[in-house]
Amino acid sequence: MATGAAASGALTTAGCGTGPGTQSSALKVVAADYGDPGRGTSSQGYWDALVGDFQERHPGAEIDVEVHSWKDVDKNVARMAAEGNPPDIAQIGAYADFAAKDMLYRAGEVLSIPVQADFLPALAEAGEVRRVQYGMPFAASTRLLFYNKTLFKKAGLDPAEPPRTWNQLASAAARLKDAGVKIPYGLPLGPEEAPAEAMMWILSSGGAYTDRVGDYTVDARANIKAFDWLRERLVRSGLTNPNPGRTDRQQLFDAFVRGDVGMLNGHPTLLKEARARGVDYGTAVPPGADGPSPGTLGVADWVMAFKHNGRGEEAGRFLDFVFSERNHYAFAERYDLLPVTTSANDRMRERAERKPLRRFQEELSSAEFYPVGKVSWATVSADIKRSIGRAVEADGDPARVLSAIQRRAEAAETAAQES
């Protein structure tokens, strides 16, 4: 069980099955936590209320929801699956390895046609393995550069002119440091955010994790260039948080809303936190090597239905309810995330109070996503979480670190193809 995660949805005490043909009466769901249990914002509250509404409409239905922290949920579901005891539904970060092992229902086998057709096309396509959709997008986000306008003014920087290039970013960070700002640029390369932060810098250099035919390119020249620049111009110059490779995203989000961070890349959830704390902030397209970044990172989290217990019909009935416009919009609104369905996206655009999210919504249609359709991606992503931070250490060698990740990624892909 993940540290800090709720033990269960407290709606039923039944667990999931212990083997083929041995199952409880409850539909077992494992989901990731988008909130903070310590602050009373855990996703457990959302799921509890949702299940309560579902049971009112379907008397006798039993749904057992466990919410795990993002640090642990993927590995916990992988362990359950390896032990022959997967949940009926999992809401995690990757699906392709389970699909390749024929452990999942196809989306069309569980969802009604109107619900499946409502997914945004780019996200539905990202949920495919060999042109068949197994991954159902659950929530999405894009990334923008956040900057503290108050700290910019303190450093003599124009808050209406955020940095557009790497050099401008380094210059602004140096001015912020001279003005006494604790963390001029927040760089989270710890396990929580490493694949995303790394990909943003790779995209800003014109690179990618994979090429057009899907082969890994982790150690491409553009990628190494980005990490060489990060190490030399930001980390070694003392313009970031100490030990970026051991710093998680939430630590820096918390520091940003305290007024301790001048700039960092952030997703829509930070909007809510910043507004709640009265931070005067701005957003901009992340800087690139020679101008605004040519690529925007999009991140989607995924729902999948496991075949192990033969609960496809029950899973589909519940997932249709989860993805209904009202319920899906309620989740996206609660955590300032981007909806993954056309109906909920349209609803968000119509709400004047959601105007700060529109820039993120606009970025979603052209965003670059992780190569989640690759069976090996879960393994490679875990390796990036463990290893990429070493590239910016004082004695780090970006070319060596990225080349090592590349070799392991190629080996993982070969193993996945052979299995």
For residue 24, the model assigns a pLDDT of 64
Q: Is 14 inside a domain boundary?
A: no
pLDDT at residue 109 above 60? yes
Q: Judge whether 175 lies within some domain.
A: yes
- Tell me whether residue 230 is in a domain: yes
- The whole-angstrom separation of Cα 206 and Cα 335 is 31
Is 369 part of a structural domain of the chain? Answer: no
Query: What is the token pair recorded at 398?
Result: 């970006």
How deeply is 46 buried, as exposed, middle or buried, from its count of CB atoms within 10 A (0-12, 13-18, 19+)?
Answer: buried
Of 361, 387, 409, the residue that ends a domain is 361
| Domain count across the chain | 2
Q: Are strands 89-92 and 27-32 parallel, antiparallel or unpaired?
A: parallel
Helix (H) or strand (E) holding 110: helix 107-110
**Pair (148, 137) in one structural domain:** no
Residues 279, 308 share a domain: no
Q: Are 140 and 342 in contact (CB under 8 A)?
A: no
Q: What is the pLDDT of residues 9-53, one digit of tens each?
A: 333 323 333 344 445 689 999 999 998 777 778 999 999 999 999
The answer to whether residue 20 is domain-embedded is: no
Q: Does 414 lie in the same domain as 326?
A: no
**Residue 330 belongs to a domain with what CATH number?**
3.40.190.10
CA gap 150, 285 in Å, rounded:
19
| pLDDT above 60 (res 362) | yes
**Any idea what DSSP says for residue 333?**
H
**pTM score over 0.85:** no
Q: Which residues is 369 bridged to in the sheet?
A: 298
Q: Are residues 354 and 387 located together in one domain of the fold?
A: no
Q: Do 262 and 190 sit in the same domain of this protein?
A: yes
Give me the residue label for tokens 């190629």: 410
Task: Decide: residue 106, CB within 10 A, 0-12 exposed, 13-18 middle, 19+ buried.
Answer: middle
The residue segments making up the domain with residue 136 are: 27-141+299-361
Residues 6+ apart with CB under 8 A from 98: 81, 86, 104, 134, 304, 306
Same domain as 237, residue 154:
yes
Higher pLDDT, 122 or 68: 68
Structure confidence at residue 16 (pLDDT): 35
Query: Are 43 and 118 in the same domain?
Result: yes
